[in-house]
Amino acid sequence: MIRTACRIRGGPFDHPDPSQRGLIEVREMPDRETKPETIRIKVAYCAICGSEAHGYQAGWVSAMPPNTEPRGFGHEVSGVVVEVGEKATHRGLKVGDRVAANFVHFCGDCDFCQNGQQQFCENFREYSQPGMAEYLTWHEQQFYKLPDNLSLKEGCLVEPTAICVRMCDKMDMKVGRSVLVCGGGPIGLIALQLLSLYGAANLTLVEPIAERRELAKTFGAVHTIDPFHEDVEARCKEITGGKGFDRILDASGAIAMMPTLLKVAKRGGLIIYGAMYPANYEMPLNLATYMYTNELTISGVMIAPYVFPRTIDIMPRLNLKPFVQCVFPLDKAHDAMVMQLTGKYPKVLVECNPGLE
């Protein structure tokens, strides 16, 4: 048995009825034995993903009936290898190696995997053991060795940073293209740094939290917009001389902003809707204007195949300190989630095993 942070009850954390509020407790959960192709790590840190936070706060995680089995969670992890299966030799990992992990295990054999589209893997297997726990056993394919110049705290940010790298790949960036990022959470702020490295022009962040707008300026943002107190469409037209942005990335998931992004895209531009959205939301889209006349390209990003090695190579060039300042012990996983929801810190980490370096 291993100690694991579990969802005991779903629903929003701020529900007026305390009995209906989301609840996380650390429970003893069944461990997994190491198989020939798996690797077992002692988890150092597990960061809280924005999708997990949004899910609880918005009530997308439905209330769990009484006597429902606890559900572990967490997938942005780093740790130290403690056991290697006899056939887990392809990555060259050994006991004592510091690693980051990709929670997705692709089959590698289906038509999509064979066609370079692992994100659509027909045998897609998400992590079968949650990461916010003392130990974790996943397929060796899911682990990547960390370089000496990347700490274990920073290592748990590899997975969300990989999402940002794939977003930049899909944005087909070129030096001098004007870029708008909507949402100053971890994905938006890390993507902002990467886009700055690409040479984005008029790099702009839309974000209601003042501290995050100021942080964005240190990451390369030339302009920031407060959507609560400024006219976003008017400011975007002002910044781009009325032409609109070449590239737009939504990392906010704020549905009130979604139609506006269409209006501030340049003709022939590209928009990535890269956040989590309510399953029942349908965005109005005037095909004659945006797809025919303006020839916009609209896409999204769910997961990040193929980019983990490049992500790890670029991470030492990023400022990751603001994302690793707030750390809770495993026993305080519930408090960590509540803190994440306050927005006081861009990212909240849970330390699953103290003292790992």
Beta bridge partners of 100: 78, 144
What phi, psi does 3 have (nearest 5°)?
-80, 125
Closest CA to 289 of 272, 260, 257, 267: 267
Q: 80: which 2 tokens? A: 């130290």
- The count of residues in the chain is 357
User: Tokens 């190579």 sit at which residue?
Assistant: 313
* 266: helix, strand or coil: strand
Closest CA to 303 of 174, 169, 136: 169
Residues forming the active site: 51, 54
Query: Hey, how many other C-beta atoms are within 10 angstroms of the C-beta on 2?
Result: 18
Q: Name the burial class of residue 234, with classes exposed (0-12), middle (13-18) and buried (19+) by CB atoms within 10 angstroms of its CB.
A: exposed
Strand pairing report for 326-329 and 348-351: parallel
Query: Hey, how many other C-beta atoms are within 10 angstroms of the C-beta on 142?
Result: 22
